[in-house]
Amino acid sequence: MRTILKNDRVSVGIKGADEILGGGLLKGQVYLVCGGPGTGKTIFGMHFLSAGLKEGESVLFISMAEHENQIKTNMQLLGFDTSGINFLDLVPKSEFFLESKVYNIFSPAEVELQPMSELIIKAVKSTQPTRVFIDSMTQFRYLSTDDFQFRRQVLSLFQFLRDQNATILCSSEGTTQQPDDDLKFICDGIFQLSSVDETRKISITKFRGSTFRSGNHALGITDTGIQVFPKLLPKETRIEITPTLISSGIPGIDKMLSGGLERGTITLITGPPGVGKTTLGLEFLIEAARQEERSVIYCFEEGLDTLTRRSQGINIPIDKMVKAGTLSLVSIEPLLLIPDELNQLIRQEVEEKQTKVVMIDSVVGYKIALRGDDLLRYLHGLCKYLQNMGVTVLLVNETETLTGEFRVTDVGISYLADNLIFLRYYELEGELHRSIGILKKRMNDHEKTLREFHITSKGIEVGEILTGMQGILRGIPDIVEKGSGGGSRRTTLRG
């Protein structure tokens, strides 16, 4: 396949769409945007024409479904400037109904197609457009006597527009009763728009002459038009980083981790509600800030004001870090997010602001934002992308049970982690205590013991190794007492 030069392409006018196309559409080709009613086909076409206007091009909108005034009104509400767009309105006027025009002898194709073709030829020759949007080809089909005639008419129309050096985008509303497979064969590229269960997506199923990013990508329609959020994939090349450690600033934890967390690794901090997972993650961010590295926390569950006040109460000055620009706090409402949107926000944070540490609090909130999509696939793509960019990742994971059978996660993501830190409650003489342990450290050795874990007004404190007990991970430990003969006996504590 030949190398496609930048000058051979034209922008769709939507940043994310251009990205999945490898830079834009190929000049002089014919593209089809298809989908059901309300999926955004006309808006997509308006982006395409507006991008041409910004480049000083002449553009033409051929409307066969809505009158020009309706289109302009709707598009202006989305912030589009329609003043520079040439319109050819081929929608029947009200006189058609008032005069009761019914074709009893001749077919619609014989009566209307010729005048329509003449109008298109006249408009194209007078405006000399480099971009043409036809909305929609479904209406054009009704003027043909049969599928063969439709195919010939469409081929001749596209060839005429190509001869005028135009790049063509057309829309279609194919249905089971009236499929648009013939159009898909004719066109050089296909955009498929869909909307299912409040989730909008876009995919490219065909793109002659160029590679493209396959799969479904999230699409949103906002008050400024369409946004496309390409599915995040790991970078092909990995940024080389200096193999240094990020300390927690807590001697006991650093000892358990053999010095701290390696930069560019993925760490899972897991445990039940309220055990101190977020607090522990913040300690690593403080140390990163002392090295003048920027960090960001994406908070799904806890309000930023609450997090700030709570952190001040345990001697973690995140407000000062925010003011210094070494920490960014981002509150996320998962029900308002489009799938892939969060990944793109994180990508921008990393690439535009050179952020070095990303903390997601929590995995459950991230899962809600996906609205039923595959958590492992999305989280894998995000974490591996960040890792290849040299970013240290902290994932806060909440387990459902306070005590009982020990489980690392409830969603099967432990394989992602280079480091796995777990926090656990256990009951001792009627009181709940916290413990901390390191289950996994891929890059280095780690301590295999459990230690007492405290959260005080001065921050986190880690106690001595919990000796003389077993079954802590079940939440109700047994006291192991040494017998006089060198053996041992167990006493189970029930409060």
d(CA 208, CA 28) in angstroms, rounded, equals 12
DSSP-derived letter for residue 290 is: H
Residue in this structure with the two tokens 């690392």, named with its chain if needed:
408
Enumerate residues 6+ apart whose C-beta is below 8 A from 359. 281, 285, 295, 296, 297, 298, 393, 394, 395, 396
Together in a domain, 144 and 252: no
CATH number at residue 346: 3.40.50.300
d(CA 41, CA 65) in angstroms, rounded, equals 12
Together in a domain, 51 and 191: yes
| 346 domain-assigned | yes
First to last CA, the chain: 73
**Helix, strand, coil content of the chain in percent (nearest 5):** 35, 25, 40
d(CA 130, CA 123) in angstroms, rounded, equals 13
Q: Which of 204, 229, 254 is the last residue of a domain?
A: 229
- C-alpha separations of 115 from 21, 108, 145 in Å: 37, 11, 16
Together in a domain, 335 and 439: yes
Question: Within the chain, what is the greatest distance between any pair of CA atoms?
Answer: 114
**Lookup: tokens for 110:** 């014989």
CB crowding 394-424: b at 16 or more within 10 Å, else e? bbbbbbeebbeebebbebebeebbbbbbbbb
Together in a domain, 297 and 363: yes
| 478 domain-assigned | no
β-strand 357-361 against 295-299: which pairing, if any? parallel
Supply the range of the domain harboring residue 97: 6-229
Cβ proximity of 44 and 31 under 8 Å? no
Q: What is the DSSP string of 118-168?
A: HHHHHHHHHH--SEEEEE-HHHHHTTSSSHHHHHHHHHHHHHHHHHTT-EE
Together in a domain, 315 and 374: yes
Query: Minimal CA–CA distance to 49: which of 80, 95, 15, 89?
Result: 80
Together in a domain, 174 and 260: no
| 166 domain-assigned | yes
**What does the CA dihedral 11, 139, 201, 199 come to, rounded to 10 degrees?**
140
Together in a domain, 215 and 254: no
- C-alpha separations of 164 from 102, 130, 155, 275, 366 in Å: 35, 8, 14, 68, 49
Number of domains in the chain: 2
Cβ proximity of 90 and 125 under 8 Å? no
State the pTM of this model: 0.82
E runs forming strands in 130-282: 131-135, 167-172, 189-196, 199-207, 217-222, 225-229, 245-246, 261-262, 266-271
Sign of CA dihedral 117, 121, 126, 129: positive
| 267 domain-assigned | yes
DSSP-derived letter for residue 472 is: G
| 491 domain-assigned | no
d(CA 146, CA 141) in angstroms, rounded, equals 9
Give the pLDDT of residue 106. 44
Together in a domain, 415 and 328: yes
Together in a domain, 178 and 205: yes
Together in a domain, 370 and 251: yes
Together in a domain, 87 and 187: yes
**Across-strand partners of 479?**
469, 491
| 1 domain-assigned | no
Q: How many CB atoms lie within 10 A of CB 213?
A: 15
Cβ proximity of 243 and 262 under 8 Å? yes
Cβ proximity of 118 and 160 under 8 Å? no
Query: Minimal CA–CA distance to 140: which of 186, 196, 105?
Result: 186
| 482 domain-assigned | no
Enumerate residues 6+ apart whose C-beta is below 8 A from 39. 193, 194, 195, 200
**Lookup: tokens for 232:** 């995040």
Give the pLDDT of residue 139. 77
Give the pLDDT of residue 489. 46
Together in a domain, 193 and 333: no
**Lookup: tokens for 289:** 């800030």
10-residue averages of pLDDT along the chain (495 residues):
65 95 96 94 97 97 93 95 95 60 49 76 96 89 79 92 96 78 94 88 95 92 93 79 89 95 95 94 93 93 91 92 94 85 92 95 90 86 93 92 66 89 87 92 92 93 87 71 50 39
Q: Which of 175, 203, 229 is the last residue of a domain?
A: 229
| 495 domain-assigned | no
**Across-strand partners of 435?**
424, 452
Give the pLDDT of residue 112. 58
